[in-house]
Amino acid sequence: MIRVRFAPSPTGYLHIGGARTCLFNWLYARNTGGKFILRIEDTDLERSKKEYLDEILESIKWLGMEWDEIYYQSQRFDLYHKYAEKLIEEGKAYRKEGAVFFKYDFETIEIDDLIRGKIVFKELPKQEEVIIKSDNSPAYNFCCVIDDALMRVNRVLRGEDHISNTPKQILMYKGLGFEVPQFAHLPLILSPQGGRLSKRFGATSIREHRQMGYLSEAIINYLMLLGWSPGEDKEIISLNEAKNIFNIKDVNKTGAAFSMDKLNWINGSYIRSMNMEDLSKISKDYLPDNYLPSWVSQDYYNKVISIFQERTVRLTDLAESMKFCFYDDFKYNEETQKILDNDLSDKINCLIEELNNVNNFIKEEIEEKFRKTAETLEVKMRVLVHPTRVALTGNKNGPGLFETIEILGKEKVLSRLRKLVEYWGGINE
Ligand code: GLU
């Protein structure tokens, strides 16, 4: 049975790279009917924080993954010390300046990496390695080997940045008399400019992405594509579908560049496919406190959401873009004022009159009135459409104008158009 593990250190929030490692381990376990172990590598008591631990667990669950077993290294210190003593007794480790060192018995090491194929390690930079530090805390490589062995982890999937640890760990497995697992090193995640994805690039934690209005389904879908592809140019794929077809052999060797545009595109596509009830509910989590005026009914809110659904990239964008649907007090800005350069008071007054006569205030009827008015005035539709949009929304672009008009309702529409006429009147005074 395949046993894999994800081994985060709670010294920071779960980041994109960690989440991708977690995901590929999870997919591998679920695809093969194996076990997915979560091991919290909290041996660095100074830097490990409960806040980070809680967030890591929360983010993994939020992304839709669950673990079969969980262990904390901080609860296993006795075990690591016991093995250190054993190595000392066997002459494979020794104490020096307070710390315990493992003596490498180096030989050329060859591994058959499940992703990268054959890797040969011809030398190590050091002849020894600290396994118990002078403050008595056990070191990463040592705990990792003992735990992977005792937890019967038989496939170690981790980031390529750990390749240099692999030969050291193999020598420790051998020194401790444990069976060596198979390794799979995942390609690095690169920033769009190339180079490693780092804080300098901007948001790197899952938490920040969540706060920025990305859906968990979109993030997890995007993470899958960082080094793996479901084939046939398919890019939108759920966790459930992916677990049926994931194969570690299909993971790329080459670095995967993080693309915000791609993530945005995927997020937008998940938002478009959401049902109204879910989108309406989740979108409210992203509105500032007291954003919605008390007169807003659920029905009105749903209608507003429905016209924005098509064009929303991130849930956090909604608060700003929907504002004109809830508030009247917006001003024309420098850019939109340019659209209002020509005084069209007479024409807009005609439009007001026509719209006032619409009994069934639905988009088809509204559009019809626009056409009629444009025809009568012998102008192109856009002559009326552009200033009307600015008057109603304060923006140059937005959802379909006739739908917007229907949703805002006659009263708001007429009063905002009258305000535009007043604005022209004010300029010309
Ligand atoms: N705690 C290590 C890390 O966060 C785990 C490395 C490994 O998977 O062996 O990178």
Q: What is the pLDDT of residue 199?
A: 65
pLDDT given at position 43: 95
Distance of CA 164 to the CA centre of its chain: 29
> In angstroms, rounded to a whole number, what is the distance separating the alpha carbons of residues 368 and 375?
11
Full-model pTM:
0.92
Give the residue among 276, 269, 307 at the shortest CA–CA distance from 395: 307
158 close to ligand 1 (CB < 6 Angstrom): yes
Tokens linked to 299: 């029905």
Ligand 1 within 6 A of CB of 41: yes
Question: What's the 43 CA to ligand 1 centre distance in angstroms?
Answer: 12
Rounded to whole angstroms, the Cα distance separating 139 from 143 reads 6
State in Å: Cα 315 to ligand 1 middle.
32
Q: Is the CB of 413 under 6 A from ligand 1?
A: no
Beta-strand ranges (E) seen in 347-416 are none
Query: Any idea how long the chain is?
Result: 429
Out of 142, 158, 185, give the residue to mutate to test ligand 1, the one with the largest number of ligand atoms within 8 Å of its CB.
Answer: 158
End-to-end CA distance of the chain: 84
To test the pocket of ligand 1, the residue of 41, 48, 74 to mutate (highest count of ligand atoms within 8 Å of its CB) is: 41
Give the whole-angstrom CA distance, residue 92 versus residue 84: 9
Q: Strand, helix or coil at 151?
A: coil
Atom 3, ligand 1: residue with shortest CA distance: 8
Ligand 1 centre and the CA of 5: distance in Å? Answer: 10
Ligand 1 mean position, distance from CA 159 (Å)? 8
Which of the 8 DSSP states describes residue 360? Answer: S
Query: Which atom of ligand 1 is found nearest the CA of 157?
Result: 8
Hey, how many other C-beta atoms are within 10 angstroms of the C-beta on 276?
A: 12
Nearest CA to ligand 1 atom 4: 8
Cα 8 to ligand 1 centre (Å): 6
Supply the pLDDT for residue 428: 65
How far is it, in rounded angstroms, from Cα 351 to Cα 360? Answer: 16
Between the CA of 293 and the centroid of ligand 1 the distance, in Å, is 48
7 lines ligand 1 (CB under 6 A): yes
144 lines ligand 1 (CB under 6 A): yes
Interval between CA 346 and ligand 1 midpoint (Å)? 71
Could you read off the pLDDT tens digit of each residue along the chain, which spans 429 residues? Answer: 999 999 999 999 999 999 999 999 999 999 999 999 999 999 999 999 999 999 999 999 999 999 999 999 999 999 999 999 999 999 999 999 899 999 998 889 999 999 999 999 998 888 999 999 999 999 999 999 999 999 999 999 999 999 999 999 999 999 999 999 999 999 999 988 878 777 667 678 999 999 999 999 999 999 999 999 998 889 999 999 999 999 999 999 998 899 999 999 999 999 999 999 999 999 999 999 999 999 999 999 999 999 999 999 999 999 999 999 999 988 898 899 999 999 999 999 999 999 999 999 999 999 999 999 999 999 999 999 999 999 999 999 999 999 999 999 999 999 999 999 999 988 766
Which protein residue's CA is at the shortest distance from atom 6 of ligand 1? 7
How far does the centroid of ligand 1 lie from the alpha carbon of residue 269, in Å?
A: 33
Ligand 1 center to 9 CA (angstroms): 7
Q: What is the pLDDT of residue 184?
A: 98
How far apart, in Å, are the Cα atoms of 375 and each of 21, 119, 332, 350?
A: 62, 75, 28, 12
Predicted pLDDT of residue 66: 98
Residue 64, token pair as written in the block: 């839709």
**Mutational test site, ligand 1, from 9, 141, 172, max ligand atoms within 8 Å of CB:** 9
Domains and CATH numbers, the chain: 3-73+188-268 (3.40.50.620), 76-186 (3.40.50.620), 276-428 (1.10.10.350)
E strand residue ranges, 89-232: 93-96, 99-103, 109-113, 117-121, 128-132, 155-159, 182-186, 189-190
Q: How far is the CA of 142 from the centre of ligand 1 (A)?
A: 12
Centre of ligand 1 to C-alpha 10, Å, is 11
Distance CA 198, CA 203 (A): 9
8 CB under 6 A from ligand 1? yes
Find out whether 324 and 389 touch, Cβ atoms under 8 Å: no
Phi first, then psi, for residue 297 (nearest 5°) are -85, 165
Cα 92 to its chain centre, rounded Å, is 45
CB of 29 closer than 8 Å to CB of 62: no
- Which strand (E) or helix (H) includes residue 280? helix 276-284
Residue bearing the CA closest to ligand 1, atom 5: 7
Ligand 1 atom closest to the CA of 144, numbered from 1: 9
| Residue nearest atom 10 in ligand 1 by C-alpha distance | 8
3-class DSSP state of 283: helix
